[in-house]
Amino acid sequence: MQKLMPTDIVEEVREVLLSAADAGKYGRAFLTAYQILELLPPATRDRLIAERGIGGSGGGSFTAPSVVSQAAEMQSEIEMAALDVRGMTARVASNAVTPGAGIVAAYRLAKKD
């Protein structure tokens, strides 16, 4: 079986982004790849982590969050922002993960009028 690629999970990532909290006049909330990964269906999340690793500091390249990031960036109406996560820890599949970069991308789908 081949490893999951961004194109394999693009629709699941879209569903997660569509389910992001609506902050009213501010639009949908932004989510990091770690948050999206955590909110994917458990079978997809767990397979990505098993195949690619959970990522974070010292996690290597093209880890599970990297696959999620690329799938998010494939969305036609994606909005991105930079988020300073220095000193923060993400929780993914009951694991604490320290992001490998001090600045990460955050994603949301543009709110349609």
Residue 52 lies in a domain: yes
Query: pLDDT tens per residue, the chain (113 residues)?
Result: 899 999 999 999 999 999 999 988 888 999 999 999 999 999 999 999 999 999 877 777 789 999 999 999 999 999 999 999 999 998 898 889 988 888 999 999 987 65
CB within 8 Å of 38: residues ≥ 6 apart: 45, 90, 91, 92, 93
Residue 105's pLDDT is: 94
Residue 62's pLDDT is: 86
Residue 1 lies in a domain: no
- Reported in sequence order, the residue ranges of the chain that DSSP labels E, i.e. its strands, are 31-32, 78-84, 90-92, 95-97, 103-109
Q: Which of 11, 43, 54, 30 is nearest to 108 (CA)?
A: 30
Residue 28 lies in a domain: yes
Secondary structure letter of residue 20 according to DSSP:
S
- CA distances to 1, 9, 37, 96 from 16, in Å: 25, 11, 9, 21
pTM score: 0.91
Residue 42 lies in a domain: yes
Angle at 1 (CA atoms; ends 58, 57), nearest 5 degrees: 10
Structure tokens that stand for 36 in this block: 């999206």
Residue 51 lies in a domain: yes
Domain with 26, as residue range(s), is 6-109
Number of domains in the chain: 1
Residue 89 lies in a domain: yes
